[in-house]
Amino acid sequence: MTLTTPQKADLRQRYLEVDTANVADILDELGYTDYGLSSAFWPIRETQNKLAGWAYTVRGQMTPYPGTGDPAKMEAVAGLQPGDISVWSGGHAEGVCFFGELIARGMQHRGCAGSLIDGGIRDIEWIARMNFPVFTRYRTPVQSIGRWQVNAWQVPVYLPGATTARVTVRPGDFILADFDGAIVIPFELVEDVLERAEALTVKERSIREDLDKGLTLPEVLAKYGHV
């Protein structure tokens, strides 16, 4: 399946109108039961927008190296396209930051729609002011230079999962995250899952309206079935 740039933009906007909970339910129905990500991922601010977009993967690892920067990191993020989510696989890094305000600002100017980071970030106050959605695993002021280095990008990566130790994220898969958590939608399922999630969203809206009108929960479940 090949999608045009306008098609990808339309799908992304529609995903912003559905919740991760409904997407998770649809993936379960389709037999894709292990695509939720670990609850260790958290949004950097309480009023943050949803994170939704196409996975652009960046992989790195803890390794000592000389120098004052990581040229591979700059080369990696140069390929981001509008609507992409930069997905950082940290190689189980602990205690160091490999994402901060300046790199976030540069990615935002390229049209990047947010970041999902299996590792640490800093400059949180400044990133929060940018209206740039970020879900991360921890915070730290300690920089990555000389400690952690990018070793590949736009390759399949592992992220920690909710119901399994690792979830594979491929370039072009779809990432959706909100206050319930984060989930991966395989590229080949993006359209089918979205249509089903939209239908479920409409159904739930009707259920809320009926409950607000005074119907009991058993009456609503008899009318609509389990949701």
Residue numbers belonging to the annotated binding site: 100-103, 122-123
- The alpha carbon of 138 is separated from its chain's Cα centroid by a whole number of angstroms, namely 15
Cα three-residue angle 82-112-188, rounded to 5 degrees: 65
How are beta strands 51-62 and 148-153 bridged, if at all? antiparallel
3-state secondary structure (DSSP) of residue 44: coil
CA angle 75, 166, 87 (to 5 degrees): 25
Q: Note whether 42 and 190 are within 8 A (CB).
A: no
What residues are designated binding site for substrate? 100-103, 122-123
